[in-house]
Every structure is written in C-alpha cells, then in structure tokens.
C-alpha cells in the first residue's frame, strides 16, 4: 500500500520543520506547500524532511483563478535545485491545472497534478474525457 501525502503550508506554523518531522514519523510522505509569493529559500533547511513540495500556482482560496505565471519559473527553479542536489523530492502543483497549463507545468518539472474545475471537473465534458485529456496534456509537456 502506498503512503499518504500530508501537506502543510509553510505559513501555517512557525515550526514547519517540526511538523514535517512529525508527518514522516507517522509514516506519511511530508509535503510543504508554498504560496505563489513564498520564495524557495524557505526550503533551505527543510530538504532532509521533505518528500514533496506543493507549488501553489494560484493564491489559495477559491476555484477559477488565473494562473500566476511566475509560478512556472518557480517550478523550473525548484526542479533545478532538486536535480543539482540529487534530492528525491517530487513537485506537486495546485491551482488552475487546466489542459493548457498542465502542459506548461509538466514541461517546467511538475510531477503531481491537483486537478479541479479547470480540467477534469469541467462541466462541459465527462469526467472520463477530462482525465484522458489531462493525461494527454501532461504527456505533451513531458515530451516537449
């Protein structure tokens, strides 16, 4: 059985390192979530307790927001840090993961995609069609 991923926004606690340690000790993957304006530097002393970094590509709060374009650079920069330091950390994205944006996010280095109303839960297509279309968009980004 695969482990759960437990995500915590870095802004949610003054003791993010301790919380991430507790998540790992409980047997889950630890994930730190970063808002669009949160710099990657907050991760400098967390690498040893992080399994996943969730890059919020919109400001949290409600569905239907426009992608914050600078988050694509954040994903690329994060992927470079992970590669350069040979870290075993996945990048998750959440916020306007539309079919078009999923391709860009995958190309930038995202590994895990939180899908919502911008893609698979779009009222104009079936769930099955949305999943198929999202997978195709991600593959396009990985292959470009």
Mean residue pLDDT of the chain comes to 93
Whether residue 63 is predicted with pLDDT greater than 80 in this model: the reply is: no
Look up the domain containing 101 and give its range. 5-142
pLDDT value for 110: 97
What CATH code is carried by the domain that includes residue 95? 3.20.20.70
- What pLDDT was estimated at residue 144? 77
| pLDDT in the model for residue 120 | 85
Strand order in the sheet with 52-56: 5-9, 29-34, 52-56, 90-94, 112-114
CA angle 52, 67, 48 (to 5 degrees): 15
Residue 81 CA to residue 14 CA, distance in Å, equals: 24
How many Cα atoms occupy the beta-carbon half-sphere of 25 within 13 Å? Answer: 6
Tally the domains of the chain.
1
Query: What is the structure's pLDDT at 1?
Result: 47
Q: Is the pLDDT reported for residue 37 higher than 90?
A: yes
């Amino acid at each position: 059985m695969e482990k759960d991923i437990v995500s915590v926004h870095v802004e949610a606690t003054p003791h993010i390192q301790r919380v991430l340690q507790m998540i790992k000790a409980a047997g889950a993957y630890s994930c730190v979530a970063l808002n669009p304006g949160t710099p990657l530097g907050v991760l400098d002393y967390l690498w040893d307790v992080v399994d996943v970094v969730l890059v919020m590509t919109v400001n949290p709060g409600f569905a239907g927001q426009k992608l914050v374009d600078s988050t694509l650079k954040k994903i690329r920069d994060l992927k470079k840090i992970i590669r350069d330091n040979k870290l075993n950390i996945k990048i998750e994205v959440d916020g306007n993961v539309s079919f078009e944006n999923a391709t860009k996010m995958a190309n930038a280095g995202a590994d895990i995609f939180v899908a919502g109303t911008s893609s698979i839960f779009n009222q104009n297509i079936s769930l099955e069609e949305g999943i198929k279309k999202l997978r195709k968009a991600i593959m396009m980004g990985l292959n470009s």
